[in-house]
Structure 1
Amino acid sequence: MQNERLRVAMTGDGWTHASLANAVGVDPKSVERWVNLGRTPRRETALKAAEALGEDVHALWPALRQARAARAISPELVAVYDQRADLPVSTFVDLIAPAREHVDVLVYAAVFLHEAYPRLNELLRERAADGCRIRIAIGDADSENVQQRGQEERFGHGIESRCRLALMHYRSLIGVENVEIRTHGTTLYNSIYRADDQCLVNAHVWGANAYAAPVWHLRRSGDGGMFDTYAQSFDAVWATGAPVAG
Structure 2
Amino acid sequence: MADANGTSRQLAYRVGVSAKQVERWLSNADLTPHARNRADACRALGVNEEMLWSKAVQGRVKTGNDKELVRSYPYRSACPSPVWTELIERASEELFFAGYTNYFFWTQVPHFADTIRRKSEDGCRVRFLLGNPEGEVTRQREQIEDVALSVSTRIRITLEHLDRLGPLERVETRFSAPLDAINHVSLSVFQFDSEALVTPHLARLVGHDSPLLHLRRQSDGGMFDRFAEHAEELWDRAERPIT
Could you tell me how far 1:93 is from its partner in structure 2? Answer: 1.5
Could you tell me how far 1:244 is from its partner in structure 2? Answer: 3.2
The superposition leaves residues 85-117 of structure 1 with CA deviations (integer Å, 9 ceiling, x where unpaired) of 112332211111111111000112132211123
Residue 102 of structure 1 corresponds to 94
Does residue 1:132 correspond to 2:129, yes or no? no
CA contact 2:197–2:213 (8 Å) conserved in 1: yes
Could you tell me how far 1:138 is from its partner in structure 2? Answer: 1.4
Map 1:15-164; keep pairs closer than 5 Å: 74-155=66-147, 158-164=150-156
CA contact 1:153–1:209 (8 Å) conserved in 2: yes
- Identical-pair percentage: 29
Residue 218 of structure 2 corresponds to 221
Residue 232 of structure 1 corresponds to 229
TM-score, length of structure 1 as denominator length = 0.67
1:97 partner SS: helix
d(CA) in 2 for partners of 1:215, 1:177: 31
CA contact 2:68–2:215 (8 Å) conserved in 1: yes
Residue 7 of structure 2 corresponds to none
Residue 176 of structure 1 corresponds to 168
Structure 2 unaligned spans of 5+: 1-60
Residue 190 of structure 2 corresponds to 193
1:121 partner SS: helix
Could you tell me how far 1:156 is from its partner in structure 2? Answer: 7.4
The superposition leaves residues 196-243 of structure 1 with CA deviations (integer Å, 9 ceiling, x where unpaired) of 000000110011111100000000001101101111111111122222
The superposition leaves residues 36-57 of structure 1 with CA deviations (integer Å, 9 ceiling, x where unpaired) of xxxxxx786xxxxxxxxxxxxx
Could you tell me how far 1:178 is from its partner in structure 2? Answer: 1.1
Deviates more, 1:106-115 or 1:230-239: 106-115
Residue 37 of structure 2 corresponds to none
Q: Of the two, which has the highest radius of gyration?
A: 1
Structure 1 unaligned spans of 5+: 1-41, 45-70
Letter in structure 2 aligned against 1:130? D
d(CA) in 2 for partners of 1:238, 1:156: 29
d(CA) in 1 for partners of 2:224, 2:156: 29
Which segments of structure 1 move beyond 6 Å, counting only runs of 4 or more?
none
Query: 1:89/1:170 Cα in 2 relative to 1: closer, same or farther (>3 Å)?
Result: farther
Letter in structure 1 aligned against 2:146? R
RMSD of aligned alpha carbons: 2.0
CA contact 1:99–1:195 (8 Å) conserved in 2: yes
CA contact 2:84–2:109 (8 Å) conserved in 1: no
